[in-house]
Structure 1
Amino acid sequence: MTAPLPQLILLPGLLNDAELWRDQISGLADVARCWVPDLTPYATLHEMAQSVLAQAEPTFAVAGFSMGGYVAQEIARIAPERIERLALLDTSIRVDTPERAAQRKALNKAAAKGGTFLGIGQAIMKSYVDASRLDDADLTGRIVDMTQRLGREVFLRQNSLEREDGEAALKALRVPLVIICGENDQITPAPGHREMAWAIGCSHLVVIPNAGHMTPMEAPGPVNGALRHWLQRPAGQR
């Protein structure tokens, strides 16, 4: 009798939903049963993590992108025994710098004023995707549509999230780990991922050339390849 495929929880980032993971859901269907939780109703990372844990199977693999990486770290704090594997994509284990916290507050103030909510619109797209993809109308259109669909209230809620340093919780895990990022990620730059890998003892770091922050959408082939390899590594080995 064939063993059931593992549950793979795919945690989206700020103003992201299942569209972020579209290519992973289809591309990994033969090795995992993918589930993308809805994180939009919640105002804290703890609430998000508790919601995921309440709906998840007893044990699972989890991949967190950007904000979803912060949720994955919160899950590791609350219920490390339930995590079979952990992947972190284009994220950080550190708290915001004072400068970054000030930027977030300024963005929230501007977004709260009203008017048309643009989401991740073309004006700031260069911060999210590699320069070589700015003229890719399909890619940028998907990002704009997704972020506008989720809207202002979700943005204000998610952009106000506070987080803890994740190093201790992640170092304590004894499961297969992988860290993935775009070489040209401007939101969570590649050097931070190298520091993350060193800090938590992760020997599997994948830096994807010619990709920015939105690697699951920009570079589905390399992302799927890295996740497939991670899913097939022996359990219990970091």
Structure 2
Amino acid sequence: MADLPLVLLHAFPVDARMWDGVREPLAARTRLITPDQRGLGRSPLPDSERVPTLDDAARDVIALLDKLELDKVVLGGCSMGGYVTMAVLRAAPERVGGIVLMDTKASSDIEEASDNRLAMAERVEREGVGWVPDAMLDVLLGETTRAERPDVVARVRELIESQSPAGVAWAQRAMAMRPDSIETLRRADVPALVIVGEEDALTRVEEAHTMVDALPKATLDIVPSAGHLAPVEQPAAVAEAVLGWLR
């Protein structure tokens, strides 16, 4: 598994720059691939009248692997990136030789959460993304980060504000409709690493334990002083966890 390339999919509502803090140590040990997902960062949102679905995001990942001529990779992601990882597992499990799930969960949204996603999608289409950081930073970042790391808070704000309203809306609608993935994880008979920020208020430590219990070959790493964006908040600890697992 250590010889396989590592593909990491970013969280919502940011882009692949969220991996900047872990990029150097990971790339020193393995081939690291960190694409922007459709509609976010530098990745365009394809013209389509299809209902948004993470299955399309999964097909984007599979198409990227085909383009790079990679038969199998270690695939992982943070938050939404984790949801897309599970969608790839459903669509093409033979392409995945290992899994890294960070600050994500296998359960689908309850009705209230789904409704909130759809409401955000409509609002960003009307008003843009300028209001999104104030609405999300308190849950995206842990209490320690918000209190002690103003540089990280400012960086995440910048990443959110740079996103396309259309891309943010597409992602929210796609995530709102995602299925429960517990059975997908139970069938994933490959090594898996589950990472969660100790202060994650969106996908809590309990959700991480649920995924570990479902996965046949899972390791759990809880990152102190980190919330929902552990790779941004505590990059050294996350890089160490991933490298130790790969070894």
Report if TM-score (shorter chain) is over 0.5.
Answer: yes
CA RMSD of aligned residues (A): 1.8
Is the 2:77–2:100 contact (alpha carbons within 8 Å) kept by the matching residues of 1?
yes
1:125 aligns with 2:137: yes
Structure 2 counterpart of 1:174, from 189, 200, 209: 189
Query: What's 1:108 paired with?
Result: 121
Aligned length: 228
- 1:27–1:78: structure 2 CA closer, same or farther, 3 Å change rule? same
Structure 2 counterpart of 1:27, from 17, 25, 28: 25
Q: For residues 202 and 175 of structure 1, what CA distance do their matches in structure 2 show?
A: 6
Is the 2:142–2:199 contact (alpha carbons within 8 Å) kept by the matching residues of 1?
yes
1:193 aligns with 2:205: no
Deviation per CA, 1:3-27: give whole Å up to 9, x if none.
x953110101112212111122212
Q: After the TM superposition, which residues 71-220 of structure 1 pair with which residues of structure 2 at under 5 Å, given as runs?
A: 71-114=84-127, 117-118=129-130, 120-122=132-134, 124-135=136-147, 136-161=149-174, 162-220=177-235
Deviation per CA, 1:112-148: give whole Å up to 9, x if none.
332x522642453111111122142221121111111
Structure 2 counterpart of 1:55, from 64, 73, 76: 64
**Could you tell me the TM-score, scaled by structure 1's length?**
0.89
Query: How many percent identity over aligned positions?
Result: 27
Structure 2 spans left out of the alignment, 5+ residues: 39-44, 47-51
Deviation (angstroms), 1:157? 0.6
Q: For residues 132 and 201 of structure 2, what CA distance do their matches in structure 1 show?
A: 14
Deviation (angstroms), 1:202? 4.6
Task: Spell out structure 1 runs of 4+ moving beyond 6 A.
Answer: none
Q: Which amino acid aligns with 2:242?
A: L
Q: Which amino acid aligns with 1:83?
A: V
Structure 1 counterpart of 2:239, from 211, 224, 227: 224
Structure 1 spans left out of the alignment, 5+ residues: 233-238
Q: For residues 102 and 18 of structure 1, what CA distance do their matches in structure 2 show?
A: 27
